[in-house]
Amino acid sequence: MLHVHNASVFFSARDGRVVHALDRATLDIDANSVVVALGASGCGKSTLLNAIAGFLPLSDGSITLDGQPVDRPGADRGVVFQKDTLLPWKSVLDNVALGLKFAGVPARDRRERANELLRMVGLDGFAHSAPHELSGGMRQRVGIARALATDPKILLMDEPFGALDSLTREQMQELLVDVWARTGKRIFFITHSIEEALFLGTTVVVMSPRPGRIVARFDLDFVRRFAQERDVRAILSDPRFAELYDEIRNLVHRPHDRSHEGGDRPQ
């Protein structure tokens, strides 16, 4: 289990002021769950992901993965970035196999495993292409395959489909559900699309900015249903989907009343 306990992050802004990016976030990500963090920009969702990935130390609080404290990046947490970070000098296959190379897996084994993953994300036949020959959606598929290659305990996804057109985005969401259903990986996913959050999350946490904090939490089953029935329309036309959409929309747009929380806002 990934356990985030009372995680707080303070930055200093360029003008010297203190920015309270994340305020006492507490979150559990159990096996086989997809936790989606949803919120407007500046709500601390990327900060939370960077802390879980180990790119950013916490000012206060703790993060543990299966009991081990998280304090640096590692292959037990696979990261898919918004901007693709594939290496332009390596083929698609070698990009996917990069983590295995770092782990010292023999070339033949890692090629085999990478090919397997490319098949899973629907890119067989592109193993020897260069990344710049692929479309944005295909590159994110490579990114997902690369993050899965080292068999991480959790997949961290930072608005991975944010830069894609809406048609590609839908395809990628379905692909991710497939990958999730097949690998059983737990996933922490960040988005600012309410629809994406509802569609993908077994749990959706809504975050609000200044200071970034978790303001609501919803447990959902749309994604499990989609994994079984594979009927997008049934889910989108479910009245509960529309209800939740409105509820979350109101939450995201409502300025939060912080009067009862005390004056912990940095000046």
Partner 1 sequence: MTDLASRGAPHAAPTAAHPKRVRLHPFGLDGAPTLLISLTTGAALIGLWFLVSWLRLVPPLFLPGPEEVLTQFLAILDDGYAGATLGEHVSASLFRISTAALLAASFGIPLGLAMGLNRWVKGVFDTPIEFYWPLPPLAYLPLMIIWLGIGELSKIVLLTLAMFAPICLSAQAGVRSLPIERVNAALSLGATRWQLFLDIVLPSALPEILTGLRIGIGVGWSTLVAAELIAATRGIGFMIMSASHFLAADVVFVGIGVIAAWAFAFSYGMRLLERALVPWKGKS
Q: Is 92 exposed, middle or buried (0-12, 13-18, 19+ CB in 10 A)?
A: buried
Residue 75 DSSP SS3: coil
**Smallest separation, CB 8 to partner 1 (Å):** 21
**Smallest separation, CB 159 to partner 1 (Å):** 13
**Which CB, 5 or 90, lies closer to partner 1?**
90
Which of 16, 67, 69, 88 binds partner 1 (CB under 8 A)? It is: 88
What is the rounded distance in angstroms from the CA atom of residue 7 to the CA atom of residue 236?
A: 34
Instruction: Assess 213 for contact with partner 1 (CB under 8 A).
Output: no
C-alpha closest to that of 178 among 97, 136, 122, 250: 122
Phi, psi of 160 (to 5 degrees): -65, -25
**Smallest separation, CB 122 to partner 1 (Å):** 22
Which of 10, 11, 81, 241 binds partner 1 (CB under 8 A)? It is: 81
Q: What is the DSSP letter of 104?
A: T
Segment interacting with partner 1, rule: CB under 8 A, options 78-86, 161-169, 180-188, 213-221: 78-86
**Smallest separation, CB 187 to partner 1 (Å):** 15
Helix (H) / strand (E) containing 227: helix 222-229
What is the rounded distance in angstroms from the CA atom of residue 161 to the CA atom of residue 171?
A: 10
Which of 13, 14, 69, 72 binds partner 1 (CB under 8 A)? It is: 72
Q: Which of residues 100-139 bind partner 1 (CB under 8 A)?
A: 101-103, 130-132
Phi, psi of 109 (to 5 degrees): -65, -40
Residue 182 DSSP SS3: helix
Instruction: Assess 83 for contact with partner 1 (CB under 8 A).
Output: yes
**Which CB, 101 or 225, lies closer to partner 1?**
101
Instruction: Assess 53 for contact with partner 1 (CB under 8 A).
Output: yes
**Smallest separation, CB 64 to partner 1 (Å):** 17
Asked whether 9 and 47 are in contact (CB, 8 A), the reply is yes
Kindly report the number of other CB atoms within 10 A of residue 165's CB atom.
11
Q: Given the rule CB under 8 A, which residues bind partner 1?
A: 53-55, 72-75, 77-79, 81, 83, 85-89, 98-99, 101-103, 130-132, 146-147, 149-150, 156
